[in-house]
Amino acid sequence: MRTPSSPAVANDSVSTFLRAFRADRVPVPEDLSTRLAGLRLSQAIARGGPIDLEIGCGVGWHPIRYARENPGRTVVAIERTAEKFAKFRERLARHPELTNLIAVHADAVAWITHFAPPGTFDRLFLLYPNPNPKNPAARWVRMPFFGRLLESLRPGAEIELRTNVEAYAEEAAREAADRWGLRDGERHRFTRAEVYPANARTHFERKYLERGEACFSLRWRI
């Protein structure tokens, strides 16, 4: 039986920002399907084996392919937008064999806060999140909640963030180091010369590559 481990990151810097995050002020998701997804996560923890998390999975390109290629891993894929999640659910319905994929229609902050114990996830994917140009404080690595997100990871966990905005990538690397102690990460720039659009990880990545834009991948190991 797998039990959640201690938080992956525990230092003074993280503790400071964790104090700024008030879990008691985050409403508990009441939707039945959202709660059932939490139950499925609890069952996956009890079974053992690696568990991975993707936040903002859109229409499901990446989590479906990833779950198919990694049948021994449980994948939790969260999407808040109703329209995108509907397309994700429709696509997932064509793959009944993917019992290792937990699709969650919810706000990631609320769902993770109340359903993901510390030390749960082995990999975290933040693939092309909204850069929030008008509200930089809402960017993942600048949110106090990011400390709770780090708590949900197991020691040795991997984080990958992808974006097509170079300034966002630079800020994410800087803030991850300064706020959360995530240093010595890997950064990779790629274009369609390295990754053919048909092999893109997400719908957005394919669009960016087809337009000739550069994309950026940042990776950290906890």
pLDDT for residue 21 = 84
pLDDT digits (tens, 9 = 90+) for 124-149: 999 999 999 999 999 999 999 999 99
pLDDT for residue 11 = 47
Q: What is the pTM of this model?
A: 0.90
Classified as helix, coil or strand, 111 is helix
Where does residue 132 fall: left (phi above 0), alpha (psi -120 to 50 degrees), or beta otherwise? Answer: left
Classified as helix, coil or strand, 102 is strand
Among 2-6, 44-48, 143-147, 154-158, the minimum mean pLDDT is found in: 2-6
CATH topology of domain 12-221: Rossmann fold (3.40.50)
DSSP 28: P
For the chain, the structural domain boundaries read: 12-221
Among 6-10, 25-29, 107-111, 207-211, the minimum mean pLDDT is found in: 6-10
Split at pLDDT 50, 70, 90, the class of 8 is: low
- Percentage of the chain with pLDDT > 70? 91
Are 132 and 61 within 8 A, CB to CB?
no
